[in-house]
Structures are given as C-alpha cells and as structure tokens.
Structure 1
C-alpha cells in the first residue's frame, strides 16, 4: 500500500509498504480521509517534536520512520481477535489517543492524561495511507447522519470541545479567541452553540476573520491594525468595559498569550490550547486581577457528543475544510499549501485517484519542499 512516512524534517516520502495486519484487539480500516494538523506541519518543518526517534513509544512500540496523520476516519476491513463491537463494513472515526487503561489517570477516566499518552500518526503509524491499524478502543462507529468527510474533522473538533469544557464560560457569557486556525474557528462555532452572547475573534488574517464571522463571532479584530493596548480597549468596549469572562489562546505565540490575558475581566479564566515551549507571564497583573490559567490537552469523552451534534444538524465541522487532495499530492498540495497560504484552514488527504479530487497527475515522491514557516 501507499503511505506518507516521516523520515525527518523536510523529509516526507510517499512509499510502498506492506499492508498492516491487526493483532489482538486491533482493527484495520481503509482510510477515507485524513486531515493535516498543525502538529503535522511542525513535524514536517522542524521535527522531531513528538515523533519518537531513538526510544520506541511506550504503547505503540514505534520509532521513525512512521506514517503521519492523526485526524482520520474510514471503513473497517479486518478485525483482530477479541474485537466484538466492530464489524467489517462499519464506518468509523478514529479517536487517536493511545491509552494504557491501567494507570491512575486512565482508571479515573482521564485517559488523555495517561502516563503513556501519545497519538497514532505522531507516536505511531497514522492515517495518511491507504490502510491503518489501530487499537479497537480508538474507534467510534459513525451514525448514519454523520458523513466520512465530517468524521475527518471530529479530532480537531474534539480538541476544541474539550478546551471549552475546561473553561468557565457560562451560558450567555463572553469569550475571546486568539488564533483562528482550525481549533480557533471550531471554538467559535462551539462557543456560539453553547450560548455565548459575545464572541470576539482575533487574528491577523482577513480571510480567517471573515470565516470566524460566518461561524458566529459577534466581533472580529484584525490584530495587525491595533496596538496591544488598543486591542485590549476594543475588547473591553465590547464587554461593558470589563473584559471577557474567558479567553482561549489557540495560536501558541507570546503575543497571543499576552493578548488573551489582557482581554480578561477581573476573575477571568484563560485556557491555553496552543503549543509553545515557554511563555512570559506578568505575574503581578495575574495575581492582582485574580486571573486563572488552565491548560487543555487532547480530549476525553467528547466524540459521542460531537457526533450527536452533527447528526441533529446543530454543528457541522466540515465548514472549516478548504480543500481535499489525493495522497499522491499531499506534500505539494497539502503541507506546502498550508505553509504558504493563510486562507487554507483544513486540508483533507484522501488515498484515492487524483481525478477524484480534481488535482494534477504528478505524484510527490520524496523531499520536494523548501524550508518555510506557517
């Protein structure tokens, strides 16, 4: 089968490898779609960050080279021994977090904090391939009212919903979302659905700001057009001079980290979703204004709720998908496009013929892209 495999920074290779077979409690799926995540871009541009190189991951047992992609879905084509709740032909979404089911966190239900936590597609083989084998506990059977295209966006939607649950956003409350990538835009949609009355969306891309407006933001702010102090005043003016109840930092930048803190009212709550190695914190201001900061990683117990929201027509994550490309063009039309074009939000990769996606016939076969920054 064909698989897009990570060998190193700027070294993705579309390779022919053996079709994987499921072991006990594992399932093989024919992949329908796999989204390209910001984590995938970071690994492509400057990795390894999460991909194991020297020591195998505790639960997957894998080191690089490995198949990228953790936002995927497909159809069951083979089940291993001990799997009784899934059958050949079932359409499934993948919740790609590894879990041991034995540590204190797993036993307490917080499996996203498992001591062996990791993700298929980063710490083990993922979905940018024709087939993928995953533990059966990762799979959710799709209701009839949820399409495979929608299922491909469940993973980032799960990140957003878990972050929203980690927040203290009340019904009718106010929030500000800094960074309008896929997670930020999904946060706008889910905050609106939860009943937030004021949703301030902040970014430097006019295209993404317009998408946020369409997704339900009540106010959009181009951070390029205002100083930090002016931005704070603009948000205060939208909230009776107080600031928002909750802010979400979804970009992983020092500027958005500081902006998200300044946007809060006294006693406000900031949720850190974006990934960054370190941040400077004005502790005096945080203490003096009695702010609370919480972090959010991955997700737990949210897929069923999200599928229900989609099936009942309350939520449609497919609206953030800007392009679908075949596996053969995943590097040039997927990774490179996301790095070069801020209007691209979520690109799905599908292991089908190029003609099905309207893409060119030229295949990517190895290292083709120069260094660049998203």
Structure 2
C-alpha cells in the first residue's frame, strides 16, 4: 500500500509499505480522510519534536521513519484476535492516543496522561496511508448521519472540547481565544454552542478574524494592536473570565494574562517552549494558569452533537487532496498559505465524499 513517511525535517516520502496482519486487539482500517495538523507541520518543518528516532515508543514499538497522521477515520476491513466481531465493516473515527490501561492515570480514566502517552501518527504509524493498523480501543463507531469529512475533524474538535472542560467557563462568562488556527476556531464554535455569548477572538490575520466572527465570536481583534489587553478589558467590562492561548507564543501568553479579571484563568492549548511571565501579577490578581493536553472522554459527546446536527465541523475544512498531493499542496502550502484552515488528505478515492 502507499504511505507518506517522515524520514527527517523537510523529508516526507510517498512510497510502498507492506503492513503486517492485525495483531491481538488491533484492526486494519481503510483510511477515508486524514487531516494535516499543526503538530504534523512542526514535524515536517523542523522536527523531530515528538517522533521517536533512536528508541521505539513503548506502546507502538515504532521509531522513525514512520507514517504521519493522527486526525483520521475510515472503515474497518480486518480484525485481529480478541476484537469484537461486529466491528468488521464499520465506519469509525480514531481517537489517536495510545494508553497502557495499567498506570495510575489510566486506572482512574485520565488516559490522556498515561505514563506511556503518545499519538498514533506521531509516535507510531498513522493515517497518511491507504491503510492503518489501529488499536481497537481507539475506535468510535460513526452513525450513518456523520460523514467521514466530519469525522476527520473530530480530533482537533476533541482538543478544543477538552480545553473547554479544563476551564471553568460557563454560559454568561466571557472568554478570549488567542490564535485562530483550527483549534482556536473550534474553541470559538464550541464555546458558542455551550451558551457563551461574549467570545473575543484574536489573530494577526484578518481572514482568520472574519472566520471567527462567522463561527460565533462577538468581536475579533488584531493581535498586533499594542493596546490589545486594555481593549479586551474594556470590551469585557473589566476583564475576561477565561483566556485560551492557542497560538503558542510569548506575546500571546502575556496578553492573555493581562486581559483577565481578578480570579480569571488562562488555559494553555498552543505548543510552545520556555516562556516568562510576571509571577507577582499572577499572584496579586489570584490568576490561574492551566494547561490542556490531548483529550479524554469527549468523542462520544462530539459524535452525538454531529449526529443531531447541532455541530457542523465541515466549516473548518478548506481543501481535500489525494495522497499524492499531500506534500506539495498540503504540507508545503500550509507553511505559506494562511487562508487554509483544515486540509484533509483522502488516501482511498473509493471512500471520498463530495
């Protein structure tokens, strides 16, 4: 089968790969769509960041080179020993977090904090391929009313949903979202769905700001405005209740901390390294600095929202590509073209949707 393999930074190769048969607890999935994530772009541009190179991941047994892609869905075409027979032929979404099921976090249901945590498509072979071997515990059956295109966006929606769950945000509160990539826009969309009306969206790109207004933001502000924290405090009548940092930069974190009301909270969602902040300001205003990684127990809720028609994830999909186009029109283009939000790759033309 054909697969897109990461060998090194700026070195993605489409080639033929021989898959083994599904082992105990595994299924073979015919991949319908796989989204290109910001973490995939980081690995492509200047990785490795998460991809294991010298020592294999303890749960996947994989190290580079490996097949990228963790935002995917498809149809089950073969089962390994011990897998429920009724899964054969089912349309499914993949919740791509590895879990051991035995550590202290897995035992209490916090499997996103598993001591061997990782993601298929980053620490193991993933979905930029015609077929993928997937642990059966990662699968969620899709109702007929939920399309593959919607299902391919469940993973970033799950990131946004878990970040909202980490916060104390409720209807009637105000929030601000810094960074309007797919996660930021989905934060706006899902916050509005939860009844939050005062949602302020911040980005450098005017096109992204316009999209945020379409997704439910009450105002969209330019991230380059030197008076940004003051404007946000004015708009929110003295300070926002919650800020979501989904850009991953020192400046946006600083703005997030200084636009809050006393007792407010910042939820870190974007990827970033070392940062600095004014601890006195944090302490004196009793602010909370939280973080959110991956997701847990949110896929069923999101699938139900899709099936009921209350949530439309196709709004973030801006381009669909064949596997052969993924590097040039997907990875390379996304590094330059900020008008694209979520690009999906379709490795199996027979499972493509209009």
SS of structure 2 residue aligned to 1:32: strand
* Counterpart selection for 2:299 from 300, 303, 307: 303
Shift, 1:19, TM fit: 3.2
- Aligned counterpart, 1:363: none
Shift, 1:357, TM fit: 9.3
Distance (whole Å) between structure 1 residues aligned to residue 353 and residue 150 of structure 2: 17
Deviations 1:328-353 (A, max 9, x none): 01000100111011111110001145
Deviations 1:1-49 (A, max 9, x none): 0000000001100011113421011000100000000000000011110
SS of structure 2 residue aligned to 1:314: coil
Deviations 1:248-281 (A, max 9, x none): 0001111111111111111001100011111111
Which segments of 5 or more consecutive residues in structure 1 lack a partner in the other structure?
359-374
2:284 is the counterpart of 1:293? no
- Aligned counterpart, 1:243: 239
Which segments of 5 or more consecutive residues in structure 2 lack a partner in the other structure?
none
- Aligned counterpart, 1:185: 185
Distance (whole Å) between structure 2 residues aligned to residue 97 and residue 239 of structure 1: 37
> Is contact 1:162–1:296 with CA below 8 Å preserved after alignment?
yes
SS of structure 2 residue aligned to 1:92: strand
Deviations 1:46-72 (A, max 9, x none): 111000000010100111000000000
> Is contact 1:173–1:195 with CA below 8 Å preserved after alignment?
no
Distance (whole Å) between structure 1 residues aligned to residue 21 and residue 156 of structure 2: 27
SS of structure 2 residue aligned to 1:340: coil
* Counterpart selection for 1:232 from 223, 226, 229: 229
2:326 is the counterpart of 1:324? no
In 2 relative to 1, CA 259–85 (structure 1 residues): closer, same or farther, beyond 3 Å?
A: farther
Shift, 1:245, TM fit: 0.3
Instruction: After the TM superposition, list the runs of 4 or more consecutive aligned residues in structure 1 that deviate by more than 4 angstroms.
Output: none
Shift, 1:318, TM fit: 1.4
> Aligned Cα RMSD in Å?
1.4
Distance (whole Å) between structure 2 residues aligned to residue 89 and residue 58 of structure 1: 29
Q: Any residues of structure 2 matched to 1:46-125 within 5 Å, and which?
A: 46-84=46-84, 86-125=86-125
Distance (whole Å) between structure 2 residues aligned to residue 353 and residue 153 of structure 1: 18
In 2 relative to 1, CA 308–337 (structure 1 residues): closer, same or farther, beyond 3 Å?
A: same
SS of structure 1 residue aligned to 2:327: helix
Of 77-86 and 44-53, more deviation after overlay is shown by 77-86
Q: Any residues of structure 2 matched to 1:21-60 within 5 Å, and which?
A: 21-60=21-60
SS of structure 1 residue aligned to 2:87: coil
What's the TM-score, normalizing by structure 2?
Answer: 0.98
What's the TM-score, normalizing by structure 1?
Answer: 0.92
